[in-house]
A and B are shown apart, each in its own frame.
Chain A
Amino acid sequence: MKMVYTWVAIALLCLASTAGDILISAAMKQIGDLQELRRQRGLLHVIRRVLTSGKLLLGVGFMTLGFFSLLFALSWADVSLVGPASASLTFLTNAVAARIFLKERVDRRRWAAAVCVALGVALLAT
C-alpha cells in the first residue's frame, strides 16, 4: 500500500508539474528576458509584469497541486527516491510537451538525454 501511495503521488506530481512548467515557460517566453527587462524598466515593473500574466498564475496553480503531491509522497518515501523519480519522469513528459506546445526543437541530443534519464529512474525505482 505504501508503494501505491508513493507512486500515485509521484504520478500526480509529474502531471501537475508538467502542466505547470509548460504554462510558466510559455508565459516567460512571452514576457522576454527578465534580466534585460529589469535593467531597462526596474524590478517593480518585472514583478508586476510576471504577476499579471494569466498563463503564469494558472501554471503556479498546477505547481501548487504538485507541491501537495510532493509533501504527500515525502511522507511515504525518502527524498532521494521521490525527488529524482518525480523530477526525471517530469523531464520526459516535459520534453514531449515542450515539443508539442512550445514548439521547442527537441533534437537527438535532447532525446538521448531523455533516454538516460529514463534508465536512471528505472534504477531509482528498484
Chain B
Amino acid sequence: MSLRKYSVLAAIVLLGACGDVCLSRGMKDVGSVSLSNWTELFRSLLTPWVVLGVILLIGFMSSYLTALSWADLTFVLPSTAVGYILMALLARFFLHENVTPKRWIGIALITVGVGFVTGGPSRTSPEPLDCRNPGADPAGDTA
C-alpha cells in the first residue's frame, strides 16, 4: 500500500470520529427525542454542531468511497477502527462523557480484533472488468 492510500485511511478515521463527536455535541443541545416528537430530528439539522458534523461526515464519505474503490469492504471497515479510540478520547476529554473501564476494555478488544485484518490483503474479490479501462463502462460517459 502506498502512502497516498494510507492517508486516505487516515482521513476516514479523523473525519469520521470528529464528525460523530460534533453530532453528539449537537444532539446534547437538542435533548432526548422520543417517538412522539420525532420531527425534532429535522430541527436538530439547524444546530451549528450538527451542521459542522454533517460537513465533516461528507468529507468522511468521499474518503470512504475512494478507499472502497481499491479495497474490500471487509478490509476498509476494520482497518479504520482506530477511530473508536479517537472517538472515546474525544468523548472523554471534549464532551466530558463518562467512559467506564468496561467500555475502555470493549474499545480495546474491538481494536485488537480489527488489527487482525490489516495485516492481510486489501482486496480479495475479483477485479472489476473496467478497472484499468474506464472508457469501457457504459454508465460513465453517456452524459
By a beta-carbon cutoff of 8 Å, the part of chain A in contact with chain B is: 2, 5, 21-22, 24-25, 28-37, 40-41, 45, 48-50, 52-53, 56, 68, 70-72, 74-76, 78-84, 87-88, 90-91, 94-95, 98-99, 102-107, 109-110, 112-117, 119-124, 126
A80 touches B103 (CB 8 A): yes
Within 8 A of A (CB), among B1-41: 4, 8, 20-21, 23-24, 27, 30-35, 38, 40-41
A22, B77: Cα distance in complex, Å: 12
B109 touches A74 (CB 8 A): no
B72 touches A122 (CB 8 A): no
B106 touches A31 (CB 8 A): no
A28, B23: Cα distance in complex, Å: 27
Q: Which 4 residue pairs of A and B lie closest in terms of their CB atoms, listed nearest first?
A: A116-B113, A123-B106, A120-B110, A79-B24
> What is the 8 Å Cβ interface bit string for chain B, positions 85-107, against chain A (1 contact, 0 not)?
00110011001011100110111
Q: Tell me the interface secondary structure of chain B in the complex.
A: helix
A29 touches B134 (CB 8 A): no
By a beta-carbon cutoff of 8 Å, the part of chain B in contact with chain A is: 4, 8, 20-21, 23-24, 27, 30-35, 38, 40-41, 44, 50, 64-66, 68-70, 72-74, 77-78, 81, 84, 87-88, 91-92, 95, 97-99, 102-103, 105-117, 119-120, 124-126, 128, 130-132, 134, 137, 139-140, 143
A72, B34: Cα distance in complex, Å: 8
A5 touches B125 (CB 8 A): no
A109, B118: Cα distance in complex, Å: 9
A2, B31: Cα distance in complex, Å: 13
A114 touches B134 (CB 8 A): no
A72 touches B68 (CB 8 A): no
B residues near A81, Cβ cutoff 8 Å: 103
B109 touches A53 (CB 8 A): no
A76, B125: Cα distance in complex, Å: 39
- From A22, A28, A72, A98, B65 is in contact (CB under 8 Å) with A28
A residues near B72, Cβ cutoff 8 Å: 25, 98, 102, 104
Distance between B26 CB and nearest chain A CB, rounded to angstroms: 9
A3, B125: Cα distance in complex, Å: 39
- From A48, A78, A98, B73 is in contact (CB under 8 Å) with A98
A5, B37: Cα distance in complex, Å: 13
Q: Knowing A79-B97, A110-B117 are in contact, say whether A33-B112 is a contact too (CB < 8 A).
A: no
Which among B44, B69, B119 has the greatest number of chain A C-beta atoms within 10 A? B69
